[in-house]
Structure 1
Amino acid sequence: MSLIARTGPQEYECRVGVLDSLTEKLRVRGITKVLIIHGTDSWDKAKNYLTQLMDSDITLEFALFNGECTHEEVDRIVGLISQTQAEAVIGVGGGKLMDAVKFAADKSSGVESVLIPTLASNCAPWTPLSVMYTAEGVCLGFVIHTKQVNLLVIEPNLLLDAPVDYFVAGIADTLAKWYESDVVLSRPEYQTNALLLLSRAAALNCRDSIVNYGLQAVKDIQNQTLTPAFIQVSETIIAVSGLVGGLGDGYSRSTVAHAVHDKLTAFPETHTFLHGEKVGYGIMVQLAIEENWAEIDRLAVFYESLNLPKTLADLNLSDLTEEQLGEVAAKVAVDPILLQSQYRVSKEVIQGGMRSLENYLATTV
């Protein structure tokens, strides 16, 4: 077997007040010129935590992210890095921005990436890969990078100040780590590989942390109360979930749930839904394919409490024809992430699972 471990950032720290130490962290790395790529609303909040950096002697340049992680946007950031002669590029924002910054740093010789997430919505800040989209928001797949993030720093209060729906989407995306990977990692031939055992343990930790503390963490962000539960779930979403694929490579990165998400992005009706929300629906499809109705029953209660989509109607796709459903299933069946993980499933089985899920939930509501 071929397994390449890309465990995570070279340095990671999550604590209240951590951004006050960012200037010193840059100095010890010999970084004196920085390009900051940021969003809009999130930047209005994040910049208040960066006053020490702003007042330092480190040269700062700023640029607004265009909203989609496209190849064109990555190349634009590469050009900005060259133009400003930046030694590091700092990304401040959400997952797509993180992915664009990582890719741009990887394509720029001698330039490090520093990430400051403003959302706990996925593991993008952790992973050395970027999920690429078209300008219209259609997923193209992912690109793995040759170098990892140099520095990832998380201010918990910044995550707490984010929209609740992004946090809920992060919960669903992280929950998928277990359901997508266990069917592969539980195979007998993988029980003697040390890294795959660690990957499976991380995936189990994702499920347990989300199930045990997820609802409490959502209440905490709604009440704007920083608690151990909120911090644990946030770190699970960003760091522990990133370790699953980091340790397990293609054997545990993703399977049906993410493949379903990727193909549903072709429908404009789904563009109002976040990545994790569509992945959450994909978990249900995978469980239906595996005929694990008991787990669907258990998760349905959890989903309802968080208003996560369980059916095509929940994703504004109730009018999807059987022909369209077959087209989606055919594309899912040959998705590279399924082929790489060795999760073999046919177009007919996927289409049948999607239809069975609709029928089953219609009779259990």
Structure 2
Amino acid sequence: MSVLQTAPAVLIRGGDAIEALARRFGVGSRVLVVHGPVGFPMVRERLAAALEHAGVVAVAAPHEGPCRASAIDAHAAAAERERVDWVLGVGGGRVIDAAKGAAQRTRTPFASLPTSPATCAATAPTVVLYDDRGARLEALEGGTSAAACALDPDLLASAPDRLLAAGIVDAWAKVHEVRLTAAGLGAVGATTRAALALVDDLAELLGEHARAAVAAGPGGARDASLLPTRRLVAEAVVVYPGLIGGLAGADAKLALAHPLHDALTHLAGARAALHGEKVGFGTLVQLRVAGSGGHDGSDAARVGAMRAEAAAYAGLGVACHLEALGCGEARSGDALERLVGRAMASASVRNALPGLSHEVLRAAVHEVDDWVRQAHGADAEAS
């Protein structure tokens, strides 16, 4: 038996999404607004006005740093102390996961208002926990799905290029991971088929529009004619991966890309790299090991898939090699062994790639890093 959890229950999108979300809370309701220091200023005044106009009482709960158990404890305590009716997460993935965790802890309805397209946290039910240093600890599955998510395409499209590019790369990881895991399942049910249909549509969308979306610049600053494309892609990388992961379920949504990201977070230098940037390196290694179509037996095809993907990332301004990620120490020695060991310890890796050995993964990490680093250096010299 499998139990699937999809989110959100209600998706509110459009230029008036914030105002519509405020009305959904209901007159007289109390909302704990968990927010960070970066994305929240973009919507602070507008959200405050919308909540006031809707007759909603807002209780501020600032959040900084990774989503940690201690932060969830603090926000949950505030929710209980203030007797709130809703918990609202406003910002990027770390803020939204912390708010989500507090809502799940207190069994309070949760709503999300993403200001960044860098992750799909706003539409995914999972809460990912990190320690105080930013090392990934565990993913909390099975909690309460978001009761509402407000997506303003213009808000997401106004985010910096780096955030959008990281979200695109993270979304590509979902494409490759679900395809690989589903290929190993044999006969698949209707929900996995639905996930794969969304995967195909997402791959087509990103293949056609990702580069133009980044080229447009924040809010279309560099090319206003490409702003509709930027809106589309920014919204897609928030919505699609969350829906795909929910439909694919725990057995089919992860392979090697995310577990390798998780292993990278244990390196101190990785703190400066965004989630999607680290996942991108994991995706390239996965492609080198398994190919793009799932368990591809041709070594040449695997190499070609990895290099094509790396070139696509470079076209978005994302350099997915260890030095660029602040993880140069993992190129050799104990750091490399720990990186490989942590990735191989993941149940997702064992399920998706049952024949993968430490030696093969170690060699793939080396090969991908060397090739991407050299290609990036050549591109830099050419420019």
The bucket for the TM-score relative to the shorter chain is: over 0.9
8 Å contact from structure 1 (residues 31, 88) kept in 2: no
Q: Aligned ranges for residues 150-161 of structure 1 at < 5 Å?
A: 150-161=147-158
Q: Aligned ranges for residues 288-327 of structure 1 at < 5 Å?
A: 288-290=288-290, 291=299, 292-320=302-330, 321-327=332-338
Could you say which residue in structure 2 is the equivalent of 1:13? 12
Q: Displacement, 1:343?
A: 5.1
1:23-73 alpha-carbon deviations (Å, 9 max, x no partner): 32112xx76111111112322111233212134422221111122200000
Higher mean C-alpha displacement, 314-323 vs 275-284: 314-323
What count of residue pairs does the alignment treat as equivalent?
Answer: 360
Could you say which residue in structure 1 is the equivalent of 2:202? 206
| 1:49 pairs with 2:46 | yes
Identity of aligned residues (%): 23
1:74-93 alpha-carbon deviations (Å, 9 max, x no partner): 01000000111001011111
Could you say which residue in structure 1 is the equivalent of 2:234? 234
Could you say which residue in structure 2 is the equivalent of 1:355? 366
8 Å contact from structure 2 (residues 100, 110) kept in 1: yes
Q: Displacement, 1:357?
A: 2.0
Q: Residue 340 and residue 48 in structure 1: after superposition, are their counterparts in 2 closer, same or farther (change >3 A)? A: farther
Report SS of the residue matched to 2:116: coil
Task: Give distance in 1, aligned partners of 2:237 and 2:194.
Answer: 17
Q: Displacement, 1:363?
A: 6.9
Q: Displacement, 1:360?
A: 4.3
8 Å contact from structure 2 (residues 122, 149) kept in 1: yes
Task: Give distance in 2, aligned partners of 1:234 and 1:353.
Answer: 31
Letter in 2 for 1:5: L
Could you say which residue in structure 2 is the equivalent of 1:177? 174
Higher mean C-alpha displacement, 115-124 vs 247-256: 247-256
Could you say which residue in structure 1 is the equivalent of 2:73? 75
Could you say which residue in structure 2 is the equivalent of 1:33? 30
Task: Give distance in 1, aligned partners of 2:329 and 2:34.
Answer: 39
Could you say which residue in structure 2 is the equivalent of 1:334? 345
- Gapped regions of structure 1 (runs ≥ 5): none
Task: Give distance in 2, aligned partners of 1:362 and 1:302.
Answer: 14
Letter in 1 for 2:307: D
Could you say which residue in structure 1 is the equivalent of 2:57? 59
Task: Give distance in 2, aligned partners of 1:315 and 1:49.
Answer: 35
8 Å contact from structure 1 (residues 33, 86) kept in 2: yes
Could you say which residue in structure 1 is the equivalent of 2:216? 220
Report SS of the residue matched to 1:162: coil
Letter in 2 for 1:298: A
Higher mean C-alpha displacement, 41-50 vs 276-285: 41-50
1:90-141 alpha-carbon deviations (Å, 9 max, x no partner): 11110011111111111113x1111100001111001111111001101112
8 Å contact from structure 1 (residues 139, 262) kept in 2: yes
| 1:89 pairs with 2:87 | yes
Report SS of the residue matched to 1:184: helix
TM-score by length of 1: 0.92
Letter in 1 for 2:118: S
Q: Aligned ranges for residues 245-284 of structure 1 at < 5 Å?
A: 245-284=245-284
Q: Residue 43 and residue 54 in structure 1: after superposition, are their counterparts in 2 closer, same or farther (change >3 A)? A: farther
8 Å contact from structure 1 (residues 260, 332) kept in 2: yes
Report SS of the residue matched to 2:328: coil
- Gapped regions of structure 2 (runs ≥ 5): 291-298, 379-383
Report SS of the residue matched to 1:314: coil
8 Å contact from structure 2 (residues 153, 232) kept in 1: no
Q: Residue 327 and residue 215 in structure 1: after superposition, are their counterparts in 2 closer, same or farther (change >3 A)? A: same
Q: Residue 76 and residue 340 in structure 1: after superposition, are their counterparts in 2 closer, same or farther (change >3 A)? A: farther
Letter in 2 for 1:206: L
Letter in 2 for 1:57: G
Task: Give distance in 1, aligned partners of 2:233 and 2:252.
Answer: 20
8 Å contact from structure 2 (residues 178, 253) kept in 1: yes
8 Å contact from structure 2 (residues 178, 248) kept in 1: no
Letter in 1 for 2:55: D
Report SS of the residue matched to 1:227: helix
Q: Displacement, 1:3?
A: 2.4
Tell me how large the CA RMSD over aligned residues is: 2.0
1:141-195 alpha-carbon deviations (Å, 9 max, x no partner): 200133210000111222122222111110100000111121221246234x111
Task: Give distance in 2, aligned partners of 1:19 and 1:117.
Answer: 10
Q: Residue 9 and residue 267 in structure 1: after superposition, are their counterparts in 2 closer, same or farther (change >3 A)? A: same
